[in-house]
Chains A and B, each alone.
Chain A
């Protein structure tokens, strides 16, 4: 009996984590997290975005060390000095962010770190393509040209090369972080065939996925993560039960009352036939298209898992960069939005409050006033000179109206808290008289108290007849702050939810159901 089989028989996990903690900046990604996977099993790791799955996989893959806690291999505590160390100890990791080097060929990438050598120890560059082709053939892949640059092949092909690189190293522990997110069905089937082969050979396989039917079709056990720690491990669990464990708490009273939606409110923003980049639809693999109407006073939520093109949708409506396909109508008038200035000046005015306010929204070293009045300088100038008294009055008014906590309008925006920075951004677009607001994950990284002020602000803006398109990585927010939620999957609307069917569980469940073949 091999050592590994012996360990499995005695119930010692091939890989385990105990009380792992890891923080990034102020965010606690893992708190006392535990996990264990056995040799010869496929172990699914599930949870909402930000639950700590990727952090766990990166720590187990040696990408970075935990702040505290223990990693065990076959019951022995280990410390990885880096990814190469983890690889040496038999751990193969497919990270969520692909690690193919764009200007190397497929062959160079596939054989990176184990290139064939001459007697003198030099890499035999000439034989790399044949060696790579042989490796790919063994895995049943013959549609990828080993001489092509990684930058030249498609996203799903890159994902397959990445997977091939790791499994051809024959790891005894295989970690796959969302390996199927960019694969189409026949490619998923190919991957699962390989996973079953490896399981039969005694490999411990850990994988994350948001597609429930994939999880149930291949996983022997399922571990659920929530808020950075384990919420339970099961051999069998119903989808609904799993979703409740993933989303956790019920928080009804924490949200303000929605302003009533007026019957006959007019369309403010309409999108027809958009293809979101990065999704199967944009790759032409499905004919999926996205269309919706947003009315005055309405808060329309956009739900779905990460990587479904939300960000591209919000940025696209703002022209930064524009959507590849799709017609946009503002206030019933068709128009083209090529760049942000088109959006800001479009009929009713479209404004974007992005998630990454530090790099996309605000000029942190500059003052609150400067940030507030940037888009309207022309309006408050005469003969090209800014009329500073008007600028000062407008900034003061908006700071008071939104309750921005700042000592003065001259304060550096970078010195404000995240929530107050977010208010400055909203205030900017109120000054610009934008009637259509695109709010993209505006409460991310915002403390609880300020978060509620922002909720109230959103309600007030909608009550005044503005149209709001809303995305949040927090499904509870989607469920409670929106009149209506469209759940995106594979670049199309998978479900349209309105109260009373609009619950966090329903949003998650609609996000996870496997897309039907087109």
Chain B
């Protein structure tokens, strides 16, 4: 069946660029919103400070966003399988608390403790994955339950805020003098692009798109889900380490907010809640959008009491705009 004039007229064959644009519209929109937020922030900053944002502003923005950006990558992986992970907050709490009491100012300790904490995160994720995959339970119920469990464990580990993160550790992960943490994000993006090119990566997208079809194609859905949740747990642990490094001390409750913000970040980043569509790069952009909104509110001199109100308002506007533009682009094709 050759391509005929009717096919040409229907415009079914389009340029690779046109396909790429349509298939990555969520990511493109996320980057556009981020750019817009950066421009608004820069204008407000320049008006008030009589100078452009400099090294300090960039560094603090990057460092403050790192834990959320990493946690959002984990959430992306789970949501791509058509799941959801509410246990992020508890996992960040627990790993952050462990970091605060275990880290010591020598390199050997820091390497070993970091590795142990990542394994703890992976184990927490594995429990979620086993319950969702083997137990065939609703992800939202399973992770709501484990959220509380991990929060409880965190309080047990560190009943009062405290502990101390060695300055060398902080300097390495979130250097306060330069945005070197961007290197870690670059590594994360490279690893993500690599994951997209492995069997596991393809299978994660496949079961999210249509689990029954994927099974018929020989995808081992249960195993893939378990690995996805485990991978996500390890990433939440990395987020917990970054949070400890940024705060230079531990607190068993500061991680709680990551459950909701990681979900907001992936929504802003164009990841579909119906599974099978989305990118960790979008999720990272979503995390930065959230930080930029907070920054903008600060410079707009919003009463901190109303900060949550305006944060919510901006999020609704961003999500509605994103959905409208996305629908428009798809409708025109």
* B216 x A99 contact (CB < 8 A): yes
Least distance between B142 CB and chain A CB atoms (Å): 24
Does A83 count as interface, using CB distance less than 8 angstroms? yes
* B1 x A101 contact (CB < 8 A): no
In the complex the two chains form, what is the Cα distance from A147 to B206 in whole Å? Answer: 17
**10 new A-B contacts at CB < 8 Å, known A63-B216, A102-B276, A103-B205:** A82-B215, A95-B216, A99-B217, A103-B272, A113-B218, A123-B198, A125-B196, A145-B12, A148-B12, A190-B1
- Within 106-127 of A, Cβ neighbours of B (below 8 Å) are at 108, 112-113, 115, 118, 121-125
Question: Which A residue's beta carbon lies closest to that of B23?
Answer: A149
* B196 x A83 contact (CB < 8 A): no
Does A249 count as interface, using CB distance less than 8 angstroms? no
In the complex the two chains form, what is the Cα distance from A100 to B3 in whole Å? Answer: 22
Does A376 count as interface, using CB distance less than 8 angstroms? no
In the complex the two chains form, what is the Cα distance from A122 to B198 in whole Å? Answer: 6
Chain A residues whose CB sits within 8 angstroms of the CB of B7 once the complex forms = 143
Does B301 count as interface, using CB distance less than 8 angstroms? no
Partner of B218 from the list A84, A104, A121, A147 (CB cut-off 8 Å) is: A84
Chain A residues whose CB sits within 8 angstroms of the CB of B209 once the complex forms = 101-104
In the complex the two chains form, what is the Cα distance from A140 to B197 in whole Å? Answer: 29
Interface 9-residue window, one of B13-21, B154-162, B174-182: B13-21
Does A491 count as interface, using CB distance less than 8 angstroms? no
In the complex the two chains form, what is the Cα distance from A147 to B277 in whole Å? Answer: 16
* A143 x B218 contact (CB < 8 A): no
In the complex the two chains form, what is the Cα distance from A160 to B1 in whole Å? Answer: 11
Least distance between A143 CB and chain B CB atoms (Å): 4
- Within 12-56 of B, Cβ neighbours of A (below 8 Å) are at 12-14, 16, 19, 23
- Please list the 3 inter-chain residue pairs (A to B) with the smallest Cβ-Cβ separation, ordered nearest first: A84-B218, A99-B213, A122-B197
In the complex the two chains form, what is the Cα distance from A83 to B219 in whole Å? Answer: 9
In the complex the two chains form, what is the Cα distance from A98 to B217 in whole Å? Answer: 11
Chain B residues whose CB sits within 8 angstroms of the CB of A124 once the complex forms = 197
Partner of A104 from the list B3, B19, B206, B272 (CB cut-off 8 Å) is: B206
Partner of A87 from the list B12, B212, B218 (CB cut-off 8 Å) is: B218
Which size bracket describes the interface of B in this complex? 20 to 34
In the complex the two chains form, what is the Cα distance from A186 to B7 in whole Å? Answer: 15
* B277 x A103 contact (CB < 8 A): yes
Partner of A83 from the list B16, B23, B201, B217 (CB cut-off 8 Å) is: B217
Does B210 count as interface, using CB distance less than 8 angstroms? yes
In the complex the two chains form, what is the Cα distance from A168 to B221 in whole Å? Answer: 24
Would A104 and B205 be within 8 Å (CB), given that A123-B197, A142-B2, A190-B1 are in contact?
yes
Interface residues of A (CB under 8 A from B): 63, 82-84, 87, 95, 97-105, 108, 112-113, 115, 118, 121-125, 129, 140-143, 145, 147-149, 153, 160, 186-187, 190
Chain B residues whose CB sits within 8 angstroms of the CB of A186 once the complex forms = 1
* A101 x B276 contact (CB < 8 A): yes
In the complex the two chains form, what is the Cα distance from A83 to B212 in whole Å? Answer: 11
Question: Which A residue's beta carbon lies closest to that of B214?
Answer: A101
Chain B residues whose CB sits within 8 angstroms of the CB of A147 once the complex forms = 14, 16, 19
* A142 x B3 contact (CB < 8 A): yes
Does B140 count as interface, using CB distance less than 8 angstroms? no
| Proximity bits, B82-107, A CB within 8 Å = 1, else 0 | 00000000000000000000000000
In the complex the two chains form, what is the Cα distance from A102 to B234 in whole Å? Answer: 29
Least distance between B212 CB and chain A CB atoms (Å): 8
In the complex the two chains form, what is the Cα distance from A129 to B220 in whole Å? Answer: 25
Partner of B210 from the list A63, A83, A101, A122 (CB cut-off 8 Å) is: A101
Chain B residues whose CB sits within 8 angstroms of the CB of A125 once the complex forms = 196-197
Which of A83, A103, A129, A160 counts the most chain B CB atoms within 10 A?
A103
* B213 x A100 contact (CB < 8 A): yes
Chain A residues whose CB sits within 8 angstroms of the CB of B23 once the complex forms = 105, 149
In the complex the two chains form, what is the Cα distance from A359 to B6 in whole Å? Answer: 41
In the complex the two chains form, what is the Cα distance from A142 to B3 in whole Å? Answer: 5
Chain A residues whose CB sits within 8 angstroms of the CB of B12 once the complex forms = 143, 145, 148, 153
* B216 x A123 contact (CB < 8 A): no
* A98 x B213 contact (CB < 8 A): yes
Chain A residues whose CB sits within 8 angstroms of the CB of B196 once the complex forms = 123, 125
Enumerate 18 A-B pairs (CB-CB under 8 Å) in ascending A order. A82-B218, A83-B215, A83-B217, A84-B220, A100-B213, A101-B205, A101-B217, A102-B209, A102-B276, A104-B209, A105-B23, A122-B198, A129-B16, A140-B1, A140-B2, A143-B2, A143-B12, A153-B12
Chain B residues whose CB sits within 8 angstroms of the CB of A95 once the complex forms = 216
* B216 x A142 contact (CB < 8 A): no
In the complex the two chains form, what is the Cα distance from A102 to B216 in whole Å? Answer: 14
Would A187 and B213 be within 8 Å (CB), given that A101-B206, A122-B194, A125-B196 are in contact?
no
Question: Which A residue's beta carbon lies closest to that of B210?
Answer: A101
* A83 x B197 contact (CB < 8 A): no
In the complex the two chains form, what is the Cα distance from A61 to B198 in whole Å? Answer: 26
Least distance between A81 CB and chain B CB atoms (Å): 10
Which of A87, A142, A147, A187 counts the most chain B CB atoms within 10 A?
A147
Chain A residues whose CB sits within 8 angstroms of the CB of B4 once the complex forms = 143
Does B202 count as interface, using CB distance less than 8 angstroms? yes
In the complex the two chains form, what is the Cα distance from A142 to B2 in whole Å? Answer: 5
Least distance between B92 CB and chain A CB atoms (Å): 30
Question: Which B residue's beta carbon lies closest to that of A187?
Answer: B1
Partner of B217 from the list A113, A122, A142, A148 (CB cut-off 8 Å) is: A113
Chain A residues whose CB sits within 8 angstroms of the CB of B202 once the complex forms = 108, 112, 115, 123
Chain B residues whose CB sits within 8 angstroms of the CB of A190 once the complex forms = 1
Least distance between B79 CB and chain A CB atoms (Å): 13
Chain B residues whose CB sits within 8 angstroms of the CB of A142 once the complex forms = 1-3
Would A143 and B198 be within 8 Å (CB), given that A99-B216, A113-B217 are in contact?
no
In the complex the two chains form, what is the Cα distance from A113 to B202 in whole Å? Answer: 9
Question: Which A residue's beta carbon lies closest to that of B330?
Answer: A152
In the complex the two chains form, what is the Cα distance from A82 to B214 in whole Å? Answer: 12
Question: Which B residue's beta carbon lies closest to that of A153?
Answer: B12
Would A143 and B206 be within 8 Å (CB), given that A101-B214, A148-B19 are in contact?
no
Chain A residues whose CB sits within 8 angstroms of the CB of B1 once the complex forms = 140-143, 160, 186-187, 190
In the complex the two chains form, what is the Cα distance from A376 to B217 in whole Å? Answer: 48
Chain B residues whose CB sits within 8 angstroms of the CB of A153 once the complex forms = 12
Chain B residues whose CB sits within 8 angstroms of the CB of A100 once the complex forms = 213
In the complex the two chains form, what is the Cα distance from A99 to B217 in whole Å? Answer: 7
In the complex the two chains form, what is the Cα distance from A84 to B215 in whole Å? Answer: 9
Chain A residues whose CB sits within 8 angstroms of the CB of B201 once the complex forms = 123
In the complex the two chains form, what is the Cα distance from A95 to B212 in whole Å? Answer: 12
* B276 x A103 contact (CB < 8 A): yes
- Within 257-275 of B, Cβ neighbours of A (below 8 Å) are at 272
Least distance between B199 CB and chain A CB atoms (Å): 8
Least distance between B4 CB and chain A CB atoms (Å): 7
Chain B residues whose CB sits within 8 angstroms of the CB of A149 once the complex forms = 23
Chain A residues whose CB sits within 8 angstroms of the CB of B14 once the complex forms = 145, 147-148
